[in-house]
Structure 1
Amino acid sequence: MAARASPGASTASATSQTSVRHSGLVKKFLLVFIVGFVAYTYQAIQPPPPKICGSPGGPPVTAPRIKLRDGRHLAYKEHGVPREKARHKVVFVHGFDSCRHDAAFATLLSPDKVEELGLYMVSIDRPGYGESDADPKRTPKSLALDIEELADQLDLGSKFYVLGYSMGGQAIWACLKYIPHRLAGATLVAPVINYWWKNLPSNMSMEAFNQQPPRDQWAVRVAHHAPWLTHWWNTQKWFPGSSVVSRNLGLLSQSDKEIIFKIGAARREYEHLVTQQGTHESLFRDMIVGFGKWEFDPTQLENPFPSNEGSVHLWQGDEDALVPISLQRYIAQKLPWLRYHEVPGGGHMFSFAKGMVEEIVTTLLASVEKD
C-alpha cells in the first residue's frame, strides 16, 4: 500500500516554495534598487556641460579672443599704452573666482606711471572663466602653452613678462618650467600651494594642511584624490563644501575683509561673467588642477635667468589665512634665485592695498630699467 504524504509535509513544502519565491523577489528588488541608486548617483555627480560662449543659448562673445591650437578660444583684455609703443609687455593671470577684468595690476597704476614705464598689460580669462572656452584637459603645462600662443598671436615679441595672482600662480610656475626661454621676468603674488608637491616636507605640509578648517581640508582632499567628485562635493546640501567656493569671509584676515568691502562695488558690474559658463569648468577645474597631481615640483625648478638677464619674484603676506606662509618660506629657501618679498601684516589680498601694485610692478621691471 503506497504511503501518503502527511499534511504537515505538504504545508512545509508549500512554505518552502513561498520562501524561495519571496527570497527571489527580495533579490530582484535589491538588484533594481542598487542599479537605480548607482544610476542616480552617477547622474548626481556628473557636472553639467559648460555653456559655451557664442553658442545657441550660451553667453554672448563680447571680448577679443584668439583661436588656440586645439580650436579653443582664449579671451583677453588690453591695458596701458598701445602694444606697438610699449617698452614692457606683461601677461597677467587672474586668481580663483575672477576673470580678465580683475586686473588690478594694470587698473590701479596711475596713468602717469603707466606712461613712465611704457607698460602694456594683457589680462586673460583662464579656460572656463569669462569668455575663454573650457578645457577639460587643462593642466599647468597647457596653461603655459596657452600663454605662449597668446603672446605669439598678439606679437608680444620673443620675450615678455608674466604676473600671476593666487591660483593664477599655477600658470606662472608652469611658464617657468615649460617656456622659460620666452620670459623676460616673472612675478607670483600670494600663489596657492599644492600640499602634494612631492618635495615639500611631509611634516611641514601636513601641519599647514591641518590649519585649514575641516570643510576645506575635505574639499581639497576630494579635489586631489577623487577629482570626479569635486562638483558634487561642493554643490550638495548635506554638509559644507569649500568655504572659498561659498565665499565665506570668516577665513580672511581683517585687512582682507576691509579690502573686499572696498572693491566689492566695482566688481558687481562684471562679477556675473566670471562663472557664466558654469562653476565646474571654472572654479572646480581650478581646484582639480591646482591640487591635483602635477608633472613637476616647483621646488625643483632651475634658474630661468642664469645670467641675471631677468628676475623672478614671489610676494607673500605674513597674515595670509589662505596660503600657508611656512610653505611659502620653504619654497623661497629651496630656490635661492627667487627673490622673496614678505609683506608684514599682509593678508591674501595685500596687493590691493595702497601703493602695493606700483611696488610689485616696478620691482618686476627694475632690473631692465637699470640696464
Structure 2
Amino acid sequence: MESVKLPDGRVLEYLVEGPADGLPLVLHHGTPGGAVSRESLFPPGVRVVMISRPGYATSTPLPGRRVADAAADTAAVLDAIGIAEFVTVGWSGGGPHALACAALLPDRCLAAATIAGVAPYGVEGLDWFEGMGAENIEEFGKALAGPAELEASLAEAEGSFAQVQPDEVIAAFGDLVSEVDKRALADGFAEYLARSLRHALSGGTAGWRDDDLAFCKPWGFDVAGIEPPVSLWQGDQDRMVPYGHGRWLAAHLPQPEVHLVPGEGHISLVNNMNQIVETLRRQAAV
C-alpha cells in the first residue's frame, strides 16, 4: 500500500498491481470499499490502480465532497505514479466516480466502464428506489434526511461489516443479494468483499457517509456531456443498484456501448471482467 499527500494536506492511499508496461486501469471500488488486492480479477497485461476514496481506510476524509472530486484525486495519484493516459472501471458506488474521470479528465481518460453503477438521484425518468433491497432503501432514506441521521444509521451498520468474515457476508447483506449473487459470493467473491469491507471501515464510516451523501446531490458534471467512450454493464437481478439505474444511464450517456445482461446480479456481473477489459482496450485503441 502506498500513499500520496495532496496540496490541501490530505492523504490518499492507493495500491498498484500488474506489470509496469501493462494497460493502466483505475478501478473505483464500491460503497463501502477500499483498495485491496484483487489482481486475479483482471486478465494479464493490466496495471491496476486502486485508490481508497476520502474517508476510507487511511485516506483523509473530505466532508461534503462531490462525485466530481474523484477526478482531481485520481489525477493526483496518477501523477505520483507517473501515469498519463488511462482507462477506468467503476463498480457499484464506484460507477459514478469512473464517469467523473471520463467527464472531467477527457484528455487523459481514454475509455470508461460502469459496472452496476449508481445513476444520479432525482432525475426525470428514474424511480431511484424501485427494485432496491430493503437495507439500501433505509440507508439512502437516511442520507436524504441529512448527515446526522445517516451517521447514526451507519454507526449501527458498521458492526455488521467492520469485522465481517467471508462466511458472514451473505447474511450481512440480507435483502440486497439476489440468488445469483449468493452463488457468486459462495464461489469465492466473498473473501475479497470481506477484506475490502474490513479495510475500508478500519478508519470509521466517514467514507461510506460521504459516498452516500454525494450520490444524493448533484454530481458536479453532466453525464450527457462525457466525451470518452463509455461501456455500461448492468444485470436485471441486481438488488443493490437496480436495473432501472442501468437503463437510465444507457438512455442518457452519449452513445454508450450498452450491456444490459439478463440473469446477472450486482456481484455476479463482475465475473465478466475479461470482456469488460477487452471492451476498454478496443474503445481506447490500445
**Common fold: TM-score over 0.5:** yes
Match of 1:162, as an amino acid?
T
Distance 1:209 1:154, change over 3 A: same
Structure 1 position 79 matched with structure 2 position 17: yes
1:101 CA drift (Å): 0.9
Query: Corresponding residue for 2:92?
Result: 166
CA–CA distance in 1 between the matches of 2:146 and 2:191? 36
Gaps of 5+ in 1: 1-62, 238-243, 306-310
1:336 CA drift (Å): 4.1
Structure 1 position 361 matched with structure 2 position 286: no
**How is 1:135-174 mapped onto 2 (pairs within 5 angstroms)?**
135-157=62-84, 159-174=85-100
Retained in 1: the 8 A contact 2:230–2:257?
yes
1:262-283 residue CA offsets vs partner (Å, 9 max, x unmatched): 222455556532201112x122
CA–CA distance in 2 between the matches of 1:162 and 1:350? 19
- SS, match of residue 219 in structure 2: coil
Identify the match of residue 243 of structure 2 among 325, 328, 331.
Answer: 325
Retained in 2: the 8 A contact 1:209–1:217?
yes
- SS, match of residue 202 in structure 2: coil
Identify the match of residue 230 of structure 1 among 150, 157, 178.
Answer: 150
Task: State the TM-score, normalizing by the size of structure 2.
Answer: 0.85
Match of 1:285, as an amino acid?
D
1:278-303 residue CA offsets vs partner (Å, 9 max, x unmatched): 12x122222111223433442xx224
CA–CA distance in 2 between the matches of 1:153 and 1:248? 36
Structure 1 position 248 matched with structure 2 position 181: no
Gaps of 5+ in 2: 158-168
- SS, match of residue 164 in structure 1: strand
1:364 CA drift (Å): 0.8
Identify the match of residue 341 of structure 1 among 259, 268, 273.
Answer: 259
Retained in 2: the 8 A contact 1:181–1:304?
no
Aligned residues: 273
Query: Corresponding residue for 1:96?
Result: 31
CA–CA distance in 2 between the matches of 1:327 and 1:339? 15
Distance 1:303 1:215, change over 3 A: closer
- SS, match of residue 322 in structure 1: coil
CA–CA distance in 2 between the matches of 1:277 and 1:90? 26
- SS, match of residue 238 in structure 2: coil
Retained in 2: the 8 A contact 1:195–1:209?
no
Distance 1:234 1:181, change over 3 A: same
The CA RMSD over aligned residues, in Å, is 2.5
1:326 CA drift (Å): 2.5
1:343 CA drift (Å): 1.6
Retained in 1: the 8 A contact 2:71–2:100?
yes
1:195 CA drift (Å): 2.8
Distance 1:336 1:174, change over 3 A: closer
Structure 1 position 258 matched with structure 2 position 208: no
Task: State the TM-score, normalizing by the size of structure 1.
Answer: 0.67
CA–CA distance in 2 between the matches of 1:162 and 1:319? 24
Match of 2:274, as an amino acid?
E
- SS, match of residue 203 in structure 2: coil
- SS, match of residue 319 in structure 1: coil
Query: Corresponding residue for 2:119?
Result: 193
Retained in 1: the 8 A contact 2:33–2:196?
no
CA–CA distance in 2 between the matches of 1:269 and 1:229? 27
- SS, match of residue 274 in structure 1: helix
Match of 1:89, as an amino acid?
P
Query: Corresponding residue for 1:49?
Result: none
Query: Corresponding residue for 1:65?
Result: 3
Distance 1:136 1:366, change over 3 A: same
Distance 1:95 1:102, change over 3 A: farther
1:66-102 residue CA offsets vs partner (Å, 9 max, x unmatched): 11121111111111112xx23x211111101221116
CA–CA distance in 2 between the matches of 1:102 and 1:320? 24
Percent identity over paired residues:
27
